[in-house]
A and B are shown apart, each in its own frame.
Chain A
Amino acid sequence: EVQLVQSGAEVKKPGESLKISCKSSGYSFTNYWIAWVRQMPGEGLEYMGIIYPDDSDTRYSPSFQGRVTISADKSITTAYLQWNSLKASDSAIYFCARLRALAGADYWGQGTLVTVSS
């Protein structure tokens, strides 16, 4: 069974750093792109970037380039999303998802709620 399990909710202060995770199981981790998707409160879905775990080829959406870092550790089939300096506007739910070629995102993590508040 394919599963993507994300790390738990986080509460941080502005300026702090954060790294959240997405653990994959039930399929060949290195053969599929993983995407990170942001959903701000009451808003729609936004792709942040994607990573191919086999070689860590990473592509960022222009809106997120330089603001976050996406990485992966194929030895533990886990993808990561990190911030060096959080802002209140980073408060959102973050989803990871497996991308299937010519088919969109077919499996999703449960989401990680990030709250940034002083």
Chain B
Amino acid sequence: EIVMTQSPATLSVSPGERATLSCRASQAISSNLAWYQQKPGQAPRLLIYAASTRATSIPARFSGSGSGTEFTLTINGLQSEDFAVYYCQQYSNWLPLTFGGGTRVEI
């Protein structure tokens, strides 16, 4: 099983600032990585796939980078609606698919 490790667990930022979230895979996964945003009481929403491609309707302030084992999600100019929990997920190995533990972005 590929283990995904996210850091930090909680990130405190102010509106308008930049947030940088990290995700590490226990083995190389090429660019087979997705990022999701989840707000309280809602289903997760796909933000980024293939490590750096924004999903449909995702604002340009969200960007992803990395390949192999190290990945980053950057949120530029944080807005109030961006305060949420973010998860990375690998799909290099489907048996099983695995998520990271999540990073909470708070004010």
Contacts and interface: CB of A to CB of B under 8 A. Distances in A.
Nearest to B32: A102
Contacts, number: 68
B50 A45 contact: no
A103 B55 CA distance: 9
Interface stretch (A69-77, A82-90, A107-115): A107-115
A105 to B, nearest CB: 6
Nearest to A61: B96
B1 interface: yes
Contacts of B95: 59
A112 B30 CA distance: 33
Q: Is the interface of A mostly helix, strand, loop or mixed?
A: strand
B101 interface: yes
B87 A102 contact: no
Contacts of A45: 36, 38, 44, 87, 89, 99, 102
A104 B49 contact: yes
Interface of A: 35, 37, 44-47, 49-50, 59-62, 95, 97, 99-100, 102-106, 108-111
13 contacts: A44-B85, A44-B99, A44-B100, A45-B36, A45-B102, A99-B91, A102-B49, A103-B34, A105-B89, A106-B46, A108-B43, A108-B45, A110-B43
